[in-house]
Amino acid sequence: MRKKTLEPQQARSRESLRKLLKAATEVMGQHGVEGATIPRIARHAGLTPGSVYRRFHDKEALMEAAILGMLQRQDERLKTGMTPFVTASIPLPIFAEQVMTGMVVTYRANAAMLRAMKQFAMNRTSTPFWKKASKLEVSHFERVVEMFVSHRDEIRHPDPRTAVSLGLMMVISTLYELVVLPPDLKAWKGLLPQNDQELKKELTRAFLGYLGVAD
């Protein structure tokens, strides 16, 4: 009987933790790091502040767990999704366009959260959290690189892996500059893509051009 009693309790506890971590990332995206207070997060999750503190001793510990959980889920989705074997059957220009489109859409939809995550992480360099987060980000990045390298025969750059890695880093840096941490775009009118559709096209063209692949 005791086992039957504990199983629903453990299930409720896991669900409560899932809701709490989800609420933490959502509130951080809506209100930034400073605005992501324990009372606000608890209210968003339908919990009491006391129940949050029973799990995490402070907001920083909660934020770390929420961010690491999100990165782990992202890595798992990529691990169980497309593989280099599958992507090798997709023409490289089409696959590149799909990836660039997905990145532009994702960065645009999550710009506030990415901005808050970057602010939070930059204040924790060299900590165990920073090392775990960096390891997960590198793992995710390597999986994407492997997908593109499956097309090495189509890449005319003398070092396909380096070209793909640096090309993706340039795309990510551009998205951070123009989407996550945008400048005054009015001042740059006429010099930058005017909308996300144009941005996607130019990123794809630049990436394929660097790899030596015809668009």
CA–CA separation, 25 and 44 (whole Å): 11
Asked if the structure places residue 74 within a domain, the reply is no
15 and 54 belong to one structural domain: yes
pLDDT at position 215: 57
Indicate the range of 2-16, 24-38, 146-160 predicted with least confidence.
2-16
155 and 186 belong to one structural domain: yes
Domains of the chain: total: 2
pLDDT digits (tens, 9 = 90+) for 86-100: 888 999 999 999 999
Q: Cβ-count burial of 138 within 10 angstroms (0-12 exposed, 13-18 middle, 19+ buried)?
A: exposed
- Please give the average per-residue pLDDT across 16-28, as a whole number: 94
Q: Which two tokens stand for residue 144?
A: 């994407």
Asked if the structure places residue 76 within a domain, the reply is no
pLDDT at position 111: 94
Where a domain ends, among 10, 27, 59?
59
Q: What is the pTM of this model?
A: 0.86
Domain housing 32:
1-59
**What mean pLDDT, rounded, does the chain reach?**
91
The dihedrals phi and psi of 181, each to the nearest 5 degrees, come to -125, 65
CA–CA separation, 92 and 152 (whole Å): 10
Asked if the structure places residue 1 within a domain, the reply is yes
Whether 9 shows a pLDDT value over 80: the answer reads no
89 and 194 belong to one structural domain: yes
180 and 105 belong to one structural domain: yes
CA–CA separation, 96 and 98 (whole Å): 5
Asked if the structure places residue 75 within a domain, the reply is no
pLDDT at position 77: 84
111 and 164 belong to one structural domain: yes
114 and 199 belong to one structural domain: yes
pLDDT at position 196: 95
pLDDT digits (tens, 9 = 90+) for 125-178: 889 999 999 999 999 999 999 999 999 999 999 999 999 999 999 999 999 999
Half-sphere exposure of 74 (CA within 13 A, CB side): 17
133 and 27 belong to one structural domain: no
pLDDT digits (tens, 9 = 90+) for 102-112: 999 999 999 99
Asked if the structure places residue 195 within a domain, the reply is yes
pLDDT at position 7: 60
